[in-house]
Amino acid sequence: MAAMETEHDKTPQSLSAKFEGSFAYLTIRDRLPTILTKAVDAIHRNKNNFFEQHGEEGVNAEKRAISFLSKLRNELQTDKPVLPLTDEAEDTAAWNDYMQRQQDLMEDKQPVSWFKSPWLYVECYMYRRIQEALLLNPPISDFDVFKEAKTQSFFESQQAVISLCTYLRELLTSMDNIAENQLYDKFLEFLQVSLWGNKCDLSISAGQDNSQKTSPIDSLADLRRFMLVDDSDKVWSALMALQGSGGTEKRGARVDIILDNSGFELLTDLVLADFLISVGLAKEVRFHGKCFPWFVSDVTKEDFNWTIKQTMAFNHRQISACAVQWKRFLKEGVWSYQDHLFWTLPHEFCDMQADAADLYSTLQASDLILFKGDLNYRKLTGDRDWEHTVPFGRALRGFHPAPLCSLRTLKANVQVGLQPGQGEKLTSQELDWMTSGKYAVVQFFCPP
Q: Is 347 helix (H, G, I), strand (E, B) or coil?
A: coil
CA distances, 345 to each of 32, 97, 289, 342, 371 (Å)? 18, 11, 13, 5, 16
Q: What is the spatial distance between Cα 448 and Cα 297, in angstroms, rounded to a whole number?
A: 35
Nearer to ligand F6P, 299 or 322 (CB): 299
The smaller minimum CB distance to Mg ion, of residues 116 and 379, is found at 379
Task: Single out the residue of 293, 115, 268 nearest to residue 196, CA to CA.
Answer: 268
CA distance 297 to 199: 12
Contact string 203-242 vs ligand F6P (x = CB under 6 A): xx--------------------------------------
260 counts as binding ligand F6P under rule CB under 6 A: yes
| Residues within the interface to Mg ion (CB under 5 A) | 201, 260-261, 295, 298
With 0-12 CB in 10 A as exposed, 13-18 as middle and 19+ as buried, what is 33? middle
User: Whose Cβ is closer to ligand F6P: residue 27's or residue 102's?
Assistant: 27
Shorter beta-carbon distance to Mg ion: residue 298 or 367: 298
Does 411 bind ligand F6P (CB under 6 A)? Our answer is yes
* Beta strand spans in 317-367 (E): 335-339
**Interface pattern 117-156 for ligand F6P (x via CB under 6 A):** ------x---------------------------------
Instruction: In angstroms, give the least distance from the CB of 198 to Mg ion.
Output: 8
32-45 vs 56-77: helix crossing angle, rounded to 10: 170
Q: Which position among 290, 378, 384, 388 is part of the footprint of ligand F6P (CB under 6 A)?
A: 378
| Shortest distance in whole angstroms from residue 202 CB to Mg ion | 8
Q: Please, which of residues 23-52 interact with ligand F6P by CB under 6 A? A: 27
| CB nearer to ligand F6P: pick between 150 and 169 | 150
Q: Judge residue 32's burial from the number of C-beta atoms within 10 Å of its C-beta, 0-12 exposed, 13-18 middle, 19 or more buried.
A: buried
Question: Binding partner of residue 204 among ligand F6P, Mg ion, none, CB under 5 to 8 Å per kind?
Answer: ligand F6P
Which residues 6+ apart lie within 8 Å of 95 measured at CB?
A: 84, 85, 125, 128, 345, 346
**The binder of ligand F6P chosen from 191, 370, 375, 405 (CB under 6 A):** 375
Burial of 355 per CB tally in 10 Å (0-12, 13-18, 19+): middle
Site string for ligand F6P, 292-321 (x = CB under 6 A): ---x--------------------------
CA distance 270 to 279: 14
Smallest distance from ligand F6P to CB 200, Å: 9
Q: Which residues bind ligand F6P (CB under 6 A)?
A: 27, 123, 198, 201, 203-204, 260-261, 295, 373-375, 378, 411-412
